[in-house]
């Protein structure tokens, strides 16, 4: 037992062993989770009439397993003692990874809802405009979710988001001024897309 109480980088060998054991258990749980998804949940969802649950399972399988790994990492680091600076870094890594993973989950859920619920409704309409607009909205919503997720993640680990946004605003303004012609062409293309002055086979 004296061997287990010996210190190594500020922690006993027993504490290092427990932390390592937690990480190993989290990896084992990931394997179990994959097995449950593949052999139980997928079979259940394949029997339902809707395709939404199948798509959700496909999209959420990886981020949910990453969530288990992040949880295992977070628990393991709290079994160890470090300097305050190192503890802050390790916890910030955990918080940032958690926010990014939750952002991925939210993004994929919204993506699946748009693809499997909203798109089938718009496909039944006579207008082709909806079918062209929904993918654009889908990408826009996805970008907004990820942008907010990254901002929240950086804010939680101590970054000055206000200064970053201000810097991005100045940089964006400079870029816009440098690319005025390109921006005009983009907006002109959007207006043509919305107004549809021309159609296929028009001469």
Q: What is the pLDDT along the chain (203 residues), one digit of tens a residue?
A: 566 667 777 778 888 888 899 999 999 998 998 888 888 888 888 788 788 888 888 888 889 889 999 999 999 988 888 888 888 889 999 999 999 999 999 999 999 888 888 887 777 766 666 667 778 888 888 899 998 888 888 888 887 777 666 666 655 555 555 555 655 555 565 555 555 555 555 55
Residue 60 lies in a domain: yes
Residue 172 lies in a domain: no
Residue 191 lies in a domain: no
The predicted structure's pLDDT at residue 178: 58
Residue 199 lies in a domain: no
Give CA–CA dist 57/42, Å, rounded: 7
Residue 175 lies in a domain: no
The predicted structure's pLDDT at residue 6: 76
Residue 134 lies in a domain: yes
CA dist 53 → 46, 115, 117, 184, 202 (Å) = 8, 12, 11, 42, 42
Residue 179 lies in a domain: no
What is the pTM (predicted TM-score) of this model?
Answer: 0.74
Task: Quote the tokens at residue 49.
Answer: 């009439």
Q: Calculate ∠ Cα 166-170-172, nearest 5°.
A: 110
Domain count, the chain: 1
Give CA–CA dist 174/35, Å, rounded: 51
Q: Residue 143 belongs to what domain range? A: 2-159
Residue 136 lies in a domain: yes
């Amino acid at each position: 037992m004296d061997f287990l109480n010996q210190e190594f980088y500020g922690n006993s060998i027993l504490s290092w062993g427990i932390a390592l054991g937690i990480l190993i258990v989290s990896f084992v749980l990931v394997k179990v989770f994959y097995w449950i998804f593949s052999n139980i949940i997928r079979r259940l969802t394949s029997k339902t009439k809707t395709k939404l649950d199948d798509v959700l399972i496909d999209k959420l399988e990886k981020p949910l397993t990453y969530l288990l790994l992040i949880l295992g990492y977070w628990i393991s680091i709290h079994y160890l003692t470090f300097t305050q600076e190192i503890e802050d870094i390790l916890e910030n890594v955990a918080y940032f990874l958690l926010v990014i993973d939750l952002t991925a989950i939210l993004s994929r859920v919204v993506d699946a809802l748009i693809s499997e619920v909203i798109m089938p409704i718009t496909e039944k309409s006579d207008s082709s405009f909806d079918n062209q607009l929904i993918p654009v909205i889908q990408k826009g919503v996805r970008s907004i979710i990820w942008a907010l997720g990254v901002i929240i993640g950086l804010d939680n680990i101590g970054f000055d988001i206000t200064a970053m946004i201000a810097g991005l605003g100045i940089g964006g303004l400079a870029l816009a001024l440098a690319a005025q012609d390109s921006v005009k062409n983009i907006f002109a293309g959007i207006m043509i897309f919305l107004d549809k002055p021309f159609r296929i086979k028009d001469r």
